[in-house]
Amino acid sequence: MDIMSLGTCLPIIAICYCAGIGCKAWEQIPDKWIPFILAVLGGVLGIAGMYIMPEFPAADWITAFAVGTMSGLAATGINQMYKQAKK
């Protein structure tokens, strides 16, 4: 995956970030489960993205799941960078 294909992963990161905010707002989900939820959601979106987006950087479902999972975890990292920058 090169830097040019990064734009295909940004929608997954944005959707996972919004889902993480929703999980945080819904106080019944413990904070320790949010990264796991976002990783699974990102993996599912990665598989869907492989079929929907022709320029998706994966050709098989295992790689698509891995790309999506890393995108979901990137959303968690972005949230933590924002929180640390506020301090």
pLDDT at res. 87: 78
If you average pLDDT over every residue of the chain, what do you get?
88
pLDDT at res. 60: 92
Rg of the chain over Cα atoms, rounded to whole angstroms, equals 13
pLDDT at res. 14: 94
What are the start-end ranges of the H helices in the chain?
A: 10-25, 34-52, 61-86
* Res. 7: pLDDT tops 80: no
Q: Are 76 and 34 in contact (CB under 8 A)?
A: yes
Residues 30-42: tens digit of each pLDDT: 989 999 999 999 9
Residues 62-83: tens digit of each pLDDT: 999 999 999 999 998 888 888 8
pLDDT at res. 4: 63
Amino acid at 70: M
Give the torsion through C-alpha atoms of 59, 65, 67, 69, to 10 deg: 180
Q: Where are the domains of the chain?
A: 35-81
Q: Are 46 and 66 in contact (CB under 8 A)?
A: yes
pTM, 2 dp: 0.85
Amino acid at 57: P
